[in-house]
Amino acid sequence: MKFLYQSSFGCEHLLSNPDTVKKQIQQELDTKLDTCNSIEYLDGDYVRLHLNYGLSVNTLSTLFILSSQQEKNGKEQLEEKLQILIDMISNKELPFSLNNAKLTLLKWKEDGYPAIHHSNTFNQLYHPSYRLIHKKYVPFLKLFKDIDNKHPSIISIDGRCASGKTTLSNLLKQIYDCNVFKMDDFFLQPHQRTKERLESPGENVDHERFEQEVLIPLSKHEDIKLRKFNCST
């Protein structure tokens, strides 16, 4: 029931203010956790990300908060899954009493489907420590882990048109509140557009100005003032 509830509603019922979220995650990390460091897939849009995965408290809490969206069809999703559960019990695919299951689920429905918590026995045996996050973040978790272990970082994103560079950079900005510098702001100036340069790989951007205005100040931890290329002028 808890598994199906989480897969339908995600973590919307657990959201509190950001400071409280960070504090709770830090407290769990400071106590005895389960040894699991994996990603546990639920049915639907959410996964259980175990706190031992290796992300920082800030990254864990940010992913959790960003995933705490209100599910418009959560109840409908849950009831569809519960019907499948009843069917599986009826077909003896699951070792539960059909009458007991129907009574339990009916009472749950009458109570308005409140959130289900792990039992004390389960908590004592397994010490579950995880947070629900949206599955759309899963492909980037290894990158987030690498960033957290090498913070602060300067990251370069390269790829063909429509390969996801902007999507990834926007996601990193959302997760880490970092600065994003786009090479579109460093088009070649007219005097740089020679035939030889345009025929050379990687020479279609003003990397000289990018170095002077961005990379050198970054390396010196100085404020950055850049001039964005204006295509209209």
Domain boundaries, the chain: 2-139, 142-219
Neighbours of 192 (CB within 10 A): 15
Query: Tell me: the pLDDT tens digits for 187-226?
Result: 998 999 999 999 998 898 999 999 999 999 999 989 999 8
What ranges in 93-164 are assigned the alpha helix state H? Answer: 98-110, 120-126, 141-149
pLDDT of residue 73: 86
User: Whole-prediction pTM value?
Assistant: 0.78
Distance CA 9, CA 73 (A): 8
Among 13-22, 54-63, 82-91, 193-202, whose mean pLDDT is lowest? 13-22
**Cα(33)–Cα(25) distance, integer angstroms:** 11
DSSP summary character for residue 161: T
